[in-house]
Chains A and B, each alone.
Chain A
Amino acid sequence: MKRKVLITLSIIFSLGMTGLFIYYLVKHDHTRWQVALGGIFVSLLPLGLLKMKKNPFNIPIIIGYYLFLFCSLYLGSISSFYLHIKWWDSTLHFFKGMFVGFVGISLFKHWIPKGARSNVSTGILFLFVLSLSVFTSALWEIYEFVGDLTLTHTMQRGGNSDTMLDLLCGLSGGLITAIYSLIRKKRLKERCWT
């Protein structure tokens, strides 16, 4: 089931992006065909998960990933939501913060086997989910910064307050997921006791 969802979504997205890539290449739209080309690559990327012995990510996370690609690559960059809608960028950063938090929960479960989890304090879960999410926000900003230094000159044109706003949105998204993971773990524990 999970395999099927992943493969289907990945094929649909990479085909769509290939279509857009050819369309804008013919129209000589420089920025848009580049985005579409990157889009083909990131749509195929999750197929690498199939190579793993056990894919740690559940269906909502896989769907969330493609939803994010759609919102940022297609709506944001190609349909110019980033330019025309002021809150689009911050909202996506917020969503990404939450999303990476959920990825963190999956990784936590993947790397700490069930039997060992009762010996792991919830504090570690909370800190891991929160810091992983914030870490990826920082990585993203570093990517934009290095990109601006070398290839493009527009990604961080909003200056320092823009960077900080992105980081703050990512942080609050991650915080929400981290708090959610705490509450859920507490409930699970209570259920075990009764």
Chain B
Amino acid sequence: MKRKLVIIMSLLYILFMAILAFYYHSNGQSFKSTVAMGGILCGAVPLLLALFTKLQFNLPIVISYLIFLVGSQYLGSILGWYGLGWWDTFMHFISGAILAFSGIALYERLIHRAAGHDISPWFVFLFTLSFPAFGGVLWEVYEFSCDQFFGMTLQGGGNTDTMTDLIADTLGGLVIAIWSFIRTKIKLKQVRRV
């Protein structure tokens, strides 16, 4: 059931992007059609995972991934909302939160249920806080290397731009980390009472 939903949603996104790519290509707007083609690739990631692996999907993460793609690729790049100034920072904030959720999902996948009650909530907190910051830094490293090796201008805003991105990533992660800390504490209390 989950698998079907993932397949349907990413197919919808791919279809949408494919139509946009054709539309902008025939209009001669090469930048927008390239972004739309990139969108097809990004939308295909969950589709391929659903078709060729036995991965157990975490629906909220897949949905927020696709919402993020809509926000950054369609609204941001194609409709030009990145020009607004605050949109880029906002998307970094959202991506920090999404990465934190993925961190929690990874954590739950990689730790046996039996061990769950012995692990300090501080570990959960620090892990969910660091993971998005790690992702944010990796993203900036990617932008930096594109600029260095391919002469692009992804970090055209200079140091202030890079730092605003990093701060937004960290804050997005911090919100979710605090939430996960409180949630773990409450859970532990319930377990200990029983």
Chain A residues close to B by CB (< 8 Å)? 107-108, 110-113, 115-121, 123-124, 127-128, 130-132, 134-135, 137-139, 141-142, 145, 156, 159-164, 167-168, 171
Q: Interface-forming stretch among B19-27, B82-90, B160-168?
A: B160-168
- Contact check: which of B112, B120, B161, B162 meets A119 at CB < 8 Å? B112
- Which A residues touch B140, using CB under 8 A? 164, 167
User: How distant is B180 from chain A, measured CB to nearest CB, in Å?
Assistant: 14
How does the 8 Å CB contact mask read for B163-175 relative to A, with 1 for contact and 0 for none? Answer: 1001101100000
Extra 19 A-B pairs, beta carbons < 8 Å, given A123-B110, A135-B129, A160-B155: A107-B123, A111-B119, A112-B123, A117-B115, A118-B115, A124-B106, A127-B131, A127-B134, A135-B130, A138-B166, A139-B133, A141-B163, A141-B166, A159-B158, A159-B159, A161-B144, A164-B155, A168-B141, A171-B141
Shortest Cβ gap from B100 to chain A (Å): 11
- Taken together as a complex, chains A and B put the C-alpha atoms of A141 and B167 apart, in Å, by 10
Q: Do A131 and B127 have beta carbons less than 8 Å apart?
A: yes
List B residues 80-118 near A (Cβ within 8 Å): 106-107, 110-112, 114-115, 118
Chain B residues with Cβ under 8 A from A145's Cβ? Answer: 159-160, 163, 167
Q: Which of B122-155 contact A (CB under 8 A)?
A: 122-123, 126-127, 129-131, 133-134, 136-138, 140-141, 144, 155
CB distance from B26 to the nearest CB of A (A): 38
Binding site for A on B (CB under 8 A): 106-107, 110-112, 114-115, 118-120, 122-123, 126-127, 129-131, 133-134, 136-138, 140-141, 144, 155, 158-163, 166-167, 169-170
A156-B166 Cα distance, complex, nearest whole Å: 15
* Known contacts A141-B163, A145-B163, A163-B163; is-contact A171 B118 (Cβ 8 Å): no
Residues of B within 8 A of A138 (CB): 133, 136-137, 166, 169-170
Sample 16 A-B pairs with CB under 8 A, ordered by A number.
Answer: A107-B123, A113-B118, A117-B115, A120-B115, A127-B131, A134-B137, A134-B138, A135-B134, A142-B166, A156-B163, A160-B144, A163-B159, A164-B141, A164-B162, A167-B137, A167-B140
Q: How far is the CA of A139 from the CA of B122 in the complex (A)?
A: 18
Please provide the 6 A-B residue pairs with the shortest distance between their CB atoms, ordered closest to farther: A119-B115, A119-B112, A131-B134, A131-B130, A135-B130, A111-B120
A113–B114 Cα gap in the complex (Å)?
12
Closest chain B CB from A154 CB (angstroms): 13
Residue of B nearest to A122 (CB): B110
Chain A min CB distance to B90 (Å):
18
B110 CB contact (under 8 Å) in A112, A121, A137, A168: A121
Known: A123-B110, A164-B140. A134 touches B133 (CB 8 A): yes
User: Which A residues are CB-close (under 8 A) to B131?
Assistant: 127, 131
Chain B residues, Cβ within 8 Å of A167: 137, 140-141
Output the nearest chain A residue to B160 by Cβ-Cβ distance: A145
Contact B163 A116 (CB under 8 A): no
- Which chain A positions have C-beta within 8 A of B127? 124, 127-128, 131
List residues of chain A with CB within 8 A of the CB of B162: 160, 163-164
Taken together as a complex, chains A and B put the C-alpha atoms of A131 and B119 apart, in Å, by 18
Name A144's closest neighbour in chain B (CB-CB).
B163
